[in-house]
Amino acid sequence: MSKAPAAEQTLRILTFLARQRGPVAAARIATALELPRSTVYQLLAELQRQGYVVHLPEERRYGLGVAAFELSSGYARHEPLSRLGRPLLGALVDDIGENAHLAVLHGRDVLYIVEERAPRRPHLVSDVGVRLPAHLAATGRAMLAGLPKHQVRALFPDRAAFVDRTGLGPGRYSELRRLLDEVSREGFATEDGEITPGLASVGVAVTDHVGWPAASIAVTFEQGRGDVPRLVERITAVAGELSRRIRGNPHPVAGGAELG
């Protein structure tokens, strides 16, 4: 029996929410974890107060909050993800001759944890440790498209949440939703001059063991220069390999060769 039952129950709730494809009702949490409903409501209230859980009152459901994403970025700062991804990005850059980067979500931003530069290519703003608006970056769009709609809505509740860099990109939730729906259909995200004038990017999500977007890989190139279909093919292969590695799966992803 645990010597810290409240802590154990709290972690079980967070783990359960992290494994769901979207927000769930408190009653479902209580049933799945075999906990008293009163206990679940008390713990959810505190998690909500601390920002780890967000409550959707109209639906009477709970999902992970922004603070939970901060935990994932803390994991990134401990470098397992960047160490696994760096050699893969290095091989990708050698192959395509363009700059590549790996990022994770940090609230409404993306946090860049790896950047690999190709010789004689333009300098990027996406240095390691830099944060950029997720709704404008290809890396961010690739990850946001993999989140439940309610989660994205919680991150972008109103027009004040949409910052602007170059005058391009979505400025309200309905515009972002249409863009993310297209990303979901296509399997990759793009941005064209929305981060830096004259530069475009293509991004693909890296998923964890439950299909959650744990990170994303993007390649940035001068507008009009990139062979987008080829870039999508190569980035998708690398993202699939990194997904395999973070899941601890010893076998290569289906249809792909071992990389690096």
Q: Summarize pLDDT for 1-29 with one digit per residue, the tens.
A: 677 888 999 999 998 998 887 899 999 99
pLDDT higher than 80, residue 248: no
Mean pLDDT of the chain: 87
pTM of the model: 0.68
Same-domain pairing of 169 and 217: yes
Same-domain pairing of 87 and 163: yes
Specify if 257 maps to a domain: no
Regarding predicted confidence, which is higher, 189 or 208? 189
Between vectors from CA 152 to CA 175 and to CA 114, what angle results, nearest 5°? 100
Q: Provide mean pLDDT across the span 71-97.
A: 81
> What pLDDT, on the 0 to 100 scale, is given for residue 249?
53
Last residue of a domain, one of 16, 49, 64: 64
CATH number at residue 132: 3.30.450.40
Q: Provide mean pLDDT across the span 203-231.
A: 90
CB < 8 Å & 24+ apart, contacts of 128-131: 131/106
Distance, in Å, from the CA atom of 26 to the CA atom of 4, rounded to the nearest integer, reads: 22
Same-domain pairing of 35 and 117: no
Per-residue DSSP letters for 55-112? EETTTTEEEE-HHHHHHHHHHHHTSHHHHHHHHHHHHHHHHH-SEEEEEEEETTEEEE
Same-domain pairing of 47 and 25: yes
Q: Provide mean pLDDT across the span 230-247.
A: 94
pLDDT higher than 90, residue 54: yes
> What pLDDT, on the 0 to 100 scale, is given for residue 260?
36
Distance, in Å, from the CA atom of 113 to the CA atom of 97, rounded to the nearest integer, reads: 20
With pLDDT > 70 as the criterion, what percentage of the chain qualifies?
Answer: 89
CATH number at residue 9: 1.10.10.10
> What pLDDT, on the 0 to 100 scale, is given for residue 229?
94
Last residue of a domain, one of 64, 87, 115: 64
pLDDT higher than 50, residue 250: no
> What pLDDT, on the 0 to 100 scale, is given for residue 123?
66
Same-domain pairing of 121 and 54: no
pLDDT higher than 90, residue 93: yes
Question: How many independent structural domains does the chain possess?
Answer: 2
Least confident of 44-53, 60-69, 75-84, 156-165: 75-84
Distance, in Å, from the CA atom of 207 to the CA atom of 215, rounded to the nearest integer, reads: 7
Specify if 20 maps to a domain: yes
Same-domain pairing of 12 and 135: no
Same-domain pairing of 222 and 197: yes
Specify if 254 maps to a domain: no
Same-domain pairing of 106 and 159: yes
Same-domain pairing of 111 and 181: yes
Range of 232's domain?
70-246
> What pLDDT, on the 0 to 100 scale, is given for residue 126?
64
Regarding predicted confidence, which is higher, 151 or 217? 217
Specify if 44 maps to a domain: yes
Least confident of 77-86, 100-109, 209-218: 77-86
Same-domain pairing of 117 and 219: yes
| Cβ-contact 163, 131 below 8 angstroms | no
Specify if 218 maps to a domain: yes
Same-domain pairing of 109 and 161: yes
Highest mean pLDDT out of 2-6, 46-50, 127-131, 249-253: 46-50
> What pLDDT, on the 0 to 100 scale, is given for residue 40?
95
Last residue of a domain, one of 47, 64, 81: 64
Measured in degrees and rounded to the nearest 5, phi and psi for residue 180 equal: -70, -35
Specify if 259 maps to a domain: no
Same-domain pairing of 60 and 74: no
> What pLDDT, on the 0 to 100 scale, is given for residue 252?
46
Q: Provide mean pLDDT across the span 85-93.
A: 95
| Cβ-contact 106, 73 below 8 angstroms | yes
